[in-house]
Amino acid sequence: MKRLAMNGDQAIALSWKQIDPDVVASYPITPQTIIVETYAEYVANGEVKTEYVCSESEHSSMSMCIGASAAGARSATATASAGLAYMWEMLYIAASMRLPVVMTVANRALSGPINIHCDHSDSMGARDSGWIQIYAENVQEAYDNSIMSFRIAENMDVRLPVMNCLDGFIVTHAIESMAPLEDDVVKKFIGDYEAIHPLLDVKSPHSHGPFDMPEYYYEHKYGQQMAMENALDVIRKVSEEYAEISGRKYDFIECYRCEDADYVAISIGSTAGTMKQVVDDLREEGHMVGSIKLRLFRPFPFEDVAKMLNGRKGVAVLDRAMSFGASAPLFADVRSATFDNDSRSPTFSYIYGLGGRDVGVEDLKRVYYDMENGTAETVNYLGVKL
């Protein structure tokens, strides 16, 4: 497999090029812009057949993806931060209409104060919108997740939109070594798009997204929940199939040196990469530590997380987002997942890296030291200047 040097945004654009969605509707926003710029070039060069719409806002981008998807088109978009916030209303509509739209989110802090750098406040805020959420550690994973996203979204037992998240700047703008699949391998893996009751099928007219009275609304929400639960099996199966064509095997969580670890930290995204170095360094000094990367946040892999975190001396949960006045998103779910464990581990919340605050190896070592020394609080603000 040939290796290329490209950044996360370019890798997403490349995956789309190989998939060639029927419709891409988007509005540029840092740090996602390179995706739509690169894709616009593919369109201009005639390398894809996509109907490309440069919309006037993110609300419109998502609306167009919804309309296109309901009409029977495979649709994709990308956004970040305020752009995602501006789509809010339509996020729920895409999910409740069970439209398999795929969206890349280049994770960036929400305003204010305005900030262009990475944290997860944008997509974490959308965690209850009914979208599947997958997070990437590096450029390779962002590319791989992008391709798998279409298969997951379009599976007939799922039919939910998928958010493919990668860390703004840290991955979107980082040139790394990555190995793409061949075009025909991707095309075969993705297969043809199968529309359900497409609006453009005039011989069999259907309504999409009509008004829902109390008699039905609740059942539709229940249906979304069932689809999310089905997604777990589907994601695992798609990941296995993807491993066959790529040699890269992904799971809901990735455990690094956890087998005999007393202390485990769990994180999302690029930080999980740095964590592997931290664990190696500490292991060399004799510390019994491990790290877990959570790849799938919605649906949340409760069973896997609970099993891996049973009987540890300490568990640190790293959140790159806050829920003001309550537990940070990942911490809340990890604690909930492990509550019924027969040997419940002491669990600590670590907030870090907000608004792109860089988190180095030494910062992250402190998380393990705190737990070992018994100085970890229930909630800790890593590196905050007070």
Partner 1 sequence: MIEIRFHGRGGQGAVLASEILARAAIMEGANASAFPFFGVERKGSPVTAFCRIDDRPIRLHTGIYEPDHVVVLDQALIQLTDVLTGLKDDGTVLVNSPHDPEDLGLSTDCKIDTVDATSIALERRLGSKSSPIVNTAILGGFARQCEFVPIKAILDSIRYMAPIKKEENAKAALEAYNRWRE
Q: Which residues bind partner 1 (CB under 8 A)?
A: 3-5, 7, 116, 137-138, 167, 169-171, 173-177, 270-271, 273-274, 276-277, 358-361
Taking the C-alpha atoms of residue 332 and residue 323, their distance in angstroms, rounded to an integer, is 10
Find tokens 């975190």 and name the residue.
309
Question: Minimum CB separation from partner 1 for residue 138, in Å?
Answer: 7
Nearer to partner 1, 141 or 154 (CB): 141
H or E stretch at 132: strand 132-135
Question: Minimum CB separation from partner 1 for residue 116, in Å?
Answer: 7
Nearer to partner 1, 5 or 384 (CB): 5
Q: Hey, what's the torsion of the CAs at 214, 216, 219, 225, to 10 degrees?
A: -80
Nearer to partner 1, 228 or 275 (CB): 275
Taking the C-alpha atoms of residue 70 and residue 67, their distance in angstroms, rounded to an integer, is 5
Taking the C-alpha atoms of residue 97 and residue 99, their distance in angstroms, rounded to an integer, is 6
Token pair of 63, please? 């609306």
Taking the C-alpha atoms of residue 137 and residue 196, their distance in angstroms, rounded to an integer, is 34
Token pair of 140, please? 């390779």
Question: Minimum CB separation from partner 1 for residue 277, in Å?
Answer: 5
Nearer to partner 1, 12 or 232 (CB): 12
Question: Minimum CB separation from partner 1 for residue 31, in Å?
Answer: 9
Q: How many residues does the chain have?
A: 386
Nearer to partner 1, 64 or 80 (CB): 80
Token pair of 357, please? 């605050």
Nearest CA to 86 out of 36, 136, 26 is that of 26
CA distances to 181, 261, 305 from 301, rounded to whole Å, are 28, 21, 6
Residue 136 neighbours by CB distance under 10 Å: 29
Question: Minimum CB separation from partner 1 for residue 10, in Å?
Answer: 11
H or E stretch at 12: helix 8-19
Question: Minimum CB separation from partner 1 for residue 298, in Å?
Answer: 23
Bridge partner list, 133: 163, 298
Nearer to partner 1, 174 or 306 (CB): 174
Question: Minimum CB separation from partner 1 for residue 173, in Å?
Answer: 6
Nearer to partner 1, 169 or 300 (CB): 169
Find tokens 């958010």 and name the residue.
163
Question: Minimum CB separation from partner 1 for residue 293, in Å?
Answer: 11
